């Protein structure tokens, strides 16, 4: 066991886990941040998408010892305390979720897109969101939600 110091959602956290432990399991099992979901375990579905230094990454493939104490980790819980982030509100307005399982990963990827490109075209949205899988197939509603969020931010 080793002690790791992490900056998660702008809060200093200290966890004692085995070296090589997946950051996903540190978040979910040790810190109670269960909004980040386990989907495939091989970084193919995107359900576990978080931000590390504002870049979307798959938590299932990150080992806790590969995330340094100075890096900023943001989970879905770090977007807003009560679901009022622009993208979260657009998700509800567009009725993007169906079962909801992949939505935290979808939202985290969408937030990263809009932080990088506040006014993306539909094609840019499709390209950036490629690789975040939705078993329910709500891709058109996801695109609509991102477009709504982009339009809300620009007004």
Alpha helices in the chain (DSSP H): 23-25, 86-93, 103-116, 122-129, 139-154
For domain 2-78, give its CATH number from 3.40.190.10, 3.10.180.10, 3.30.1490.190, 3.10.20.30: 3.10.20.30
CB neighbour list of residue 137: distance below 8 Å, 6 or more residues apart: none
User: Taking the CA of residue 11 as centre, how many other CA atoms within 13 Å lie in the half-sphere pointing to its CB?
Assistant: 10
Pair 106, 142: CB distance under 8 Å: yes
DSSP codes, 97-122:
-SS-TTHHHHHHHHHHHHHH-SS--H
CB neighbour list of residue 77: distance below 8 Å, 6 or more residues apart: 9, 33, 35
Task: Walk along the chain (155 residues) and give the pLDDT tens digit of each residue.
Answer: 999 999 999 999 999 999 999 999 999 999 999 999 999 999 999 999 999 999 999 999 999 999 987 899 999 999 998 989 999 999 999 999 888 889 999 999 999 999 999 999 999 999 999 999 988 889 999 999 999 999 997 65
State the CATH class of domain 86-154: mainly alpha
The rounded distance, in Å, linking the Cα atoms of 66 and 64 is 5
How much is the pLDDT for 69?
Answer: 77
Pair 109, 46: CB distance under 8 Å: yes
Q: Please report, for the chain, the start and end positions of each structural domain, with discontinuous segments joined by +.
A: 2-78, 86-154
């Amino acid at each position: 066991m080793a002690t790791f110091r992490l900056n998660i959602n702008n809060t200093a956290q200290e966890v004692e886990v085995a070296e090589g432990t997946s950051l996903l399991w540190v978040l979910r099992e040790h810190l109670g941040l269960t909004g980040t979901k386990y989907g495939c375990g091989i970084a193919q579905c995107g359900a576990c998408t978080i931000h590390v230094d504002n870049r979307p990454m798959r938590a299932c493939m990150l080992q806790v010892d590969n995330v340094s104490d100075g890096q900023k980790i943001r989970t879905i819980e770090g977007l807003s305390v009560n679901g009022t982030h622009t993208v979260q509100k657009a998700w509800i307005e567009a009725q993007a979720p169906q079962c909801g399982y992949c939505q935290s990963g979808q939202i985290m990827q969408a937030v990263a897109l809009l932080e990088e490109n506040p006014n993306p075209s539909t094609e840019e949205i499709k390209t950036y969101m490629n690789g975040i899988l939705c078993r329910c197939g709500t891709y058109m509603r996801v695109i609509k939600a991102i477009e709504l969020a982009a339009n809300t931010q620009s007004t």
